[in-house]
Amino acid sequence: MPIAEKSACVRHATLSLAASYVLDYKRNELLEKRANFHHKKAVLLLDKELKDRHNFLPGKEEALIAALIIITHTEEKPKWHLATRLAERILDYSDPAYNYQSPNNVQFSRARPELANIICLDNVLSDCVFPLDPHNSKCRYPWLLRGNPREQRRIISFTGFSSLLMHYFVKITHLSARRQKYPNSDIIPTVGSAIEEVLSEFRQWSGLSEGCEGAEALFDSCELVDGKVTTREKVTELIAESYVAAAQIYLHCRLFRRRRNDKIVQAFVHDLLRNIDMQPTSGPLFTAQTPLFSIFIAGIAASQPKHRDIIRNWFIPVCTDSRGNVPPTWDAMQRIWEWVDEYDLAHPYNKDTGSDPPAISQDNSDAWWEELVEKIRVDYGRMNLA
């Protein structure tokens, strides 16, 4: 860890986190004292480093961001969100392309895009299932779009998908907030349709492969053993593609306000769950990249018993041996199913008319996603789906 070699704060944060993982499996009083010591030392050093404006200059911010990422892994809500928002502001201030007309050509370190995407993984995905901010007038995280077009489609190892796709989630959330404020806008549906077209042929690549041309091509290329893929290459491709399908569901349900039993939404749910069903849930290929967010989005839109069975069969064994975000996410998923079923009974969707609902209505009617995320906020607060 080169950053840890240069930063005492990162070293102490790393030692604290490592000790906390060991303590999850075996309690030890001496180790617990050492973990607390390193955590307190990291927090004190972080406070000192945050007061030094030199650390906010381009190229000087990496140790701060790394320390915030590590420390938040041992914090409960809502501290993790406060820390990631602070990291977001540091990335804003230290953006090396801030004063350039053509920011894609600006040079930056190898660590910065990785750290930026890790921060966004918490914030961006959490925003998808949280009430919209009506005061946010601009699209956030412009520094996600640094680098050339090919680099923007590179799958980030920690997150499992590319920075460009991450920014499309940001755009959909931003447009949804604008739509809520300006329901009669002609621009919003036009931009939304443009995003829909891009996502329909969205290709990502990694150091393992160049990816596939869409979901069907990917599924056809997968060789299964007991229904699961067995190579790092295919797991990486499936995870990245699962986020594309999740983005499509999110676009249609939140921005276009299609109901979950709309045939367009259900087609994406079907593809997404077919994808999830091919991924291993144990062994060396079951890693931190596992797309909990994609599974959660599929669960929100799942209206058929067979689809919910796939989600249930994923969560139950994983929750048995899991720590962190998975068990509370499964608890929320079950409550969401109760709520969306009640909503559908109270607001019947007429799917026998032979005509689809408009892609986007000219009012704020049937904003079921907004009602749902308000329920989530009340019952569970801000969820971390990373």
At 336-352, the pLDDT tens digits run: 999 999 999 998 876 54
Residue 276 has pLDDT above 60, yes or no: yes
Give the lowest-confidence range in 62-66, 69-73, 87-91: 69-73
Rounded distance between C-alpha atoms, residue 223 and residue 44, angstroms: 51
CA triple 252-311-278, angle to 5 deg: 95
Between residues 277 and 51, the one the model is more confident about: 277
Give the lowest-confidence range in 37-51, 92-106, 362-376: 92-106
How high is the pLDDT of residue 362? 55
Q: Which long-range contacts (CB under 8 A, 24 or more apart) does 47-55 make?
A: 49/9, 50/86, 55/90
How high is the pLDDT of residue 359? 46
At 304-317, the pLDDT tens digits run: 999 999 999 999 98
Structure confidence at residue 175 as a pLDDT band (50, 70, 90): very high
Which residues lie below 8 Å from residue 361, measured CB to CB, with a gap of 6+? 257
Q: What mean pLDDT value characterizes the chain?
A: 87
List residues bridging with 205 in a β-sheet.
Answer: 154
**Can you tell me the mean pLDDT for 192-203?**
96
At 116-150, the pLDDT tens digits run: 898 888 899 999 999 999 887 788 888 898 888 99
How high is the pLDDT of residue 277? 96
Give the lowest-confidence range in 60-69, 81-90, 97-106: 97-106
Which stretches within 26-144 are classed as H helix? 29-50, 62-72, 79-93, 111-128
| DSSP letter (8 states) at residue 255 | I
How high is the pLDDT of residue 97? 59
Residue 58 has pLDDT above 80, yes or no: no
In a 3-state reduction of DSSP, which class is residue 327? helix
How high is the pLDDT of residue 355? 42
Percent residues over pLDDT 70 in the chain: 88
